[in-house]
Structure 1
Amino acid sequence: MRAQRDAPVDSMGAEKCMDQDASPEVHRFQVLVSLMLSSQTKDQVTHAAMTKLRSHGLTVENILDTSDEVLGQLIYPVGFWKKKVGYIKKTCEILKKSYDCDIPPSVQEICKLPGVGPKMAHLCMDIGWRKLTGIGVDTHVHRISNRLGWTGRNTKTPEETRVALESWMPEKIWSETNLLLVGFGQQICLPVRPRCAECLNSALCPYGRNPANRSPKKGSPSKIPTKNGS
């Protein structure tokens, strides 16, 4: 179901928002900013904001020289954009003062930045530093893992889900887990009205085996879309 790699996250997720020709430290900073913007925001909106920021000049020093008003205009309408203006500005101050305009090299230090949590930190380490430190668990991964029964119990938070998944999941697939499940959550295992009737995994899924969840909902697509949208 994810073989086509045609979910929004595949073309507009954190790995697709940066200037690939930028210096390593600027590239890592852009990874961090894209993840900060992505919280409570659709990939399409995050990608559009990152495109505007990159055109403006997405470096630590340039953002520090940018007024809050202009920064807000650049990232609007990402979720909680007003708060994120403050988070990004404070983060840039810390990065310039303590990390020579680079991002911290550890999960613990990244999590100390304003508005940054464990999911963002693990993805920053994986995408930015090319170091695998853990599974990036967002709301999609948290929801789907619980529906599938992968956590052993209903975990309450994404961080609990990360610990549960890492306890049994082979480390060699940690890196791709977030991308695969986020796309699956965007297309099939939706937060509301998941498409269990069309899901090829429903026979193995405790949630999907529930007859009530397998009944097509009013307005649901009749089949899984292919790459060309048919």
Structure 2
Amino acid sequence: MCCRLEFGMKASGMRMVTRSWSREPGAGPRGIGEEAAPLGRGEAAAEGRKSHRPVKRQRKAQSLNVAYEVSDGEKGEGTELLKVPSWEPQDWQQQLANIRSMRSGKDAPVDQLGAEHCYDPSAPPKVQRYQVLLSLMLSSQTKDQVTAGAMQRLRARGLTVDSILQTDDSTLGTLIYPVGFWRNKVKYIKQTSAILQQRYGGDIPASVAELVALPGVGPKMAHLAMAVAWGTVSGIAVDTHVHRIANRLKWTKKVTKSPEETRRALEEWLPRNLWSEINGLLVGFGQQTCLPVRPRCQACLNQAMCPAAQRL
């Protein structure tokens, strides 16, 4: 395109006339590939009159790249290939290898009595998933041995949504005692079971958002339920063991104050293909070696490279 300016001198002074931008064939708002039709005599005159008006120069449209944040339940396989962590802990790969070595025996309570071992494998899939969720609800602030005992007593009576709703609160409390906060859990189990019957046909939801909306179900339980019941890795399940060990090893960029904060910090850098492994691995490690009080640092392969071992 070109633009031509003419300057003329008159008695009243200088006058500037701006000629219109010349148009190439096919340019402007015409359709792609549409040829420009020649102007008639009247149209040419009209075009000439319009040329004295200032013409706004159109800017070329810019292509914008928009990034969308993927929610926990929607992350697909291969997502980790798109994310390059800006930070990762020092020596974490060697520390992880050492923990795997120390956990090779798979003889911690979680290995025998965790949520994946508490349901009836002969029950219909829908009932199995319900039992997985109930075992997770019972496990909060409770040792695996106590949770497993409560699940055995419940299963002996036929553990389904209908059977729980037909059980009175007093009997249910007796069956699950002495799990932690058992009175609250009686209430949550009844409320959640009613919701599952009314909204999900007796099954459990298949998303983290719907699971955490159920009474008595937190993020850790939701992510474990997705993994065990649905076979979907939706995030890292972080309980008190994982929270404690991650901070002791400085696997978080800064000290975290809650398991949920630790989950978000770990997911920022830990490769996604390790998310399903990390809970069981660290929980068992926390039950046997990295104890809450008086950890067995002398027996830990990570003693020399653990920041906390120097202070404990």
TM, length-normalised to structure 2: 0.67
Matching of residue 44 in structure 1 with residue 145 in structure 2:
yes
Report the equivalent of 2:295: 194
- CA offset digits 1:61-119 (Å, max 9, x no partner): 11000111111111010001111000000000000000000001100000011111100
Among 238, 253, 273, the residue aligned to 1:172: 273
Alignment gaps of 5+ in structure 1:
214-230
CA RMSD of aligned residues (A): 0.7
- Once residues 154 and 115 of structure 2 are traced to their aligned partners in structure 1, the CA distance between those partners, rounded to angstroms, is 14
In the comparison of the two structures, how many residue pairs are matched? 211
After TM superposition, the runs of 4+ consecutive aligned structure 1 residues lying more than 4 A away are none
Indicate the residue corresponding to 2:243 in structure 1: 142
Structure 2, gaps ≥5 residues long: 1-101
Residue 160, structure 1, aligned to residue 250, structure 2: no
Tell me what 2:164 maps to.
Answer: 63
Query: For the residues of structure 2 that align with 1:97 and 1:117, how far apart are their CA atoms?
Result: 21
Q: Does 1:94 align with 2:198?
A: no
Query: 1:57 & 1:86 partners in 2: Cα distance?
Result: 19
Q: Which amino acid aligns with 2:237?
A: G
The CA distance in 2 between the partners of 1:70 and 1:183, in whole Å, is: 32
SS of the equivalent of 2:247 reads helix
- Cα distance in 2 for partners of 1:115, 1:128 equals 17
CA distance in structure 2 between the aligned counterparts of 1:38 and 1:153, rounded to whole angstroms: 28
Match of 2:215 among 96, 104, 114: 114
- Which position in structure 1 is the counterpart of 2:122? 21
Residue by residue over 1:125-168, the C-alpha shift from the partner in whole angstroms, topping out at 9 and shown as x without a partner, is 01001111000000000000000000111111111111111111
Greater shift, 90-99 or 193-202, is seen at 193-202
Could you tell me the percent identity over the aligned residues?
64
Aligned AA for 2:136? L
Cα distance between partner residues in 2 of 1:69 and 1:186? 32
The yes-or-no answer on 1:83 pairing with 2:175 is no
Q: For 2:277 and 2:305, how far apart are their aligned partners in 1?
A: 21
Q: 1:216: which partner in 2?
A: none
* Letter aligned with residue 137 of structure 1: V
Tell me the CA shift for residue 24 of structure 1.
1.1
Q: Equivalents in 2 of 1:99, 1:186: separation in Å? A: 36
Once residues 25 and 168 of structure 1 are traced to their aligned partners in structure 2, the CA distance between those partners, rounded to angstroms, is 35
1:207 corresponds to 2:293 = no
State the SS of the aligned residue for 2:186.
helix
Partner deviation per Cα, 1:183-228 (whole Å, 9 max, x = no partner)? 00000000111111111111121001x1x52xxxxxxxxxxxxxxx
Name the structure 2 match of 1:74.
175
Instruction: Tell me how far 1:57 sits from its aligned partner.
Output: 1.1
Give the Cα–Cα distance (whole angstroms) in 2 for the partners of residues 166 and 191 of structure 1.
Answer: 23
Separation in structure 1 between the aligned mates of residue 115 and residue 280 of structure 2, nearest angstrom: 10
Matched residues in 1 for 2:127 and 2:299: separation? Answer: 42
Query: Which protein has the bigger helix share?
Result: 1
Residue 230 of structure 2 is aligned to residue 129 of structure 1: yes
